[in-house]
Amino acid sequence: MEDPEFSVLLTGVGDRRLDLVRVVRSVSGLSLWDSKLLLDAVPAVVVKDTWYEAADEVARRLEAAGARAALSCGWCSRTIPCGTGPVDPGPCEAPYWPAENCRASSPKH
């Protein structure tokens, strides 16, 4: 079964802009200048269309640098906070799976 792809949304910058620019550059491959411009364009997508575990790790790194970040499911467009962990691998918009099986709608217990 195919899993949905997730994007990482930067929703807030915080006070540690220099640390955050370095993290954005590290996780996105953008230049220092483009990383700074991305911070000025919040809310913004930092990483697009990757698997859940990688997206969650990027969001955790951003939050460790003082930012606010969230994950967006590529199938249903639901946004979930980093670290809350969807656990159900079922797709949400496939014709054979109900929406309640979406990983974005299944928080970790």
- Extents of the domains making up the chain: 6-105
User: What pLDDT, on the 0 to 100 scale, is given for residue 1?
Assistant: 47
Going by pLDDT thresholds of 50, 70 and 90, the confidence category of residue 106 is low
Question: Sorting pLDDT into bands at 50, 70 and 90, what band is 78?
Answer: confident
Residue 68 vs residues 16, 18, 38, 63: alpha-carbon distances, Å: 12, 15, 14, 6
| Burial status of residue 96 (CB atoms within 10 A of its CB: 0-12, 13-18, 19 or more) | exposed
SS3 call for 59: helix
- The predicted model scores a pTM of 0.77
The predicted-structure confidence for 91-101, as pLDDT tens digits, reads as follows 455 444 555 65
Higher-scoring residue by pLDDT: 75, 36: 36
Q: Angle, nearest 10°, between helix axes 52-64 and 17-28? A: 160
- Beta-carbon count within 10 A of 83 CB: 12
Give 83's DSSP letter. T
Residue 82 tokens, joined: 């980093």
CATH class entry, domain 6-105: alpha beta
